[in-house]
Amino acid sequence: MYCRNCGIQIGTEDKFCRECGQQTTVGSESRGQSASGYVDPRRLTRVVDGKKIAGVCAGLAHYFDVDVTLVRLLVVLGIFFSCGLVLLAYIIAWVIMPLDSRIPPFRPAATAGTQTVA
C-alpha cells in the first residue's frame, strides 16, 4: 500500500504514514468506529491542512476519499466549461462549509543547514 500524500510504501496495517503523518484508509476506518460499534458520521468541512485557496477542494477530496489534485483539476475544468457557475458554487461553498476542527498532524520543519562544523 502507498501513501496518498507522499507516495512512499507503507504497511497494510499502518494507520498513519511514517514519513508525512497522513492518515491511511486503515486508520480512517478504525478512527470512526468505537468499541460499541458506533461509526462517526463523515462531515463535509473545509480542510485547513493542505489547502491552496480556501480548503474547499481539499475538503471535498477528503469527504469523497479521492486525490485532492483530481478534485482541483475538475474544479478548474468546471469553471471553464460552465462559464463561471462552478466558480460561483466554489465561493458559496467557501462561505457555507465549516472549517475542520481537527488538529493537523505534526510535520517537523525541514532544515536546510543542519550540519555542524567540527
pLDDT of residue 76: 92
The region of weakest confidence among 3-7, 38-42, 71-75, 107-111 is 107-111
C-alpha grid cell, residue 89:
458554487
pLDDT of residue 73: 94
Where in the sequence is the domain holding 70, given as residue range(s)? 42-96
Q: How would residue 98 be classed by pLDDT, with cut points 50, 70 and 90?
A: confident
- Same domain (yes/no): 21, 50: no
Phi/psi of residue 9, nearest 5 degrees:
-80, 135
- Same domain (yes/no): 88, 47: yes
The pLDDT tens digits for 30-89 are 555 555 555 667 777 887 777 788 888 888 888 888 888 999 999 999 999 998 899 999
- Same domain (yes/no): 35, 46: no
The pLDDT tens digits for 53-70 are 888 888 888 888 888 899
Give which of 80, 78, 15, 22 is closest to 47, Cα–Cα.
22
Helix (H, G, I), strand (E, B) or coil at 15: coil
If one counts the domains in the chain, the total is: 2
Phi/psi of residue 65, nearest 5 degrees:
60, 50
Amino acid in position 41 = P
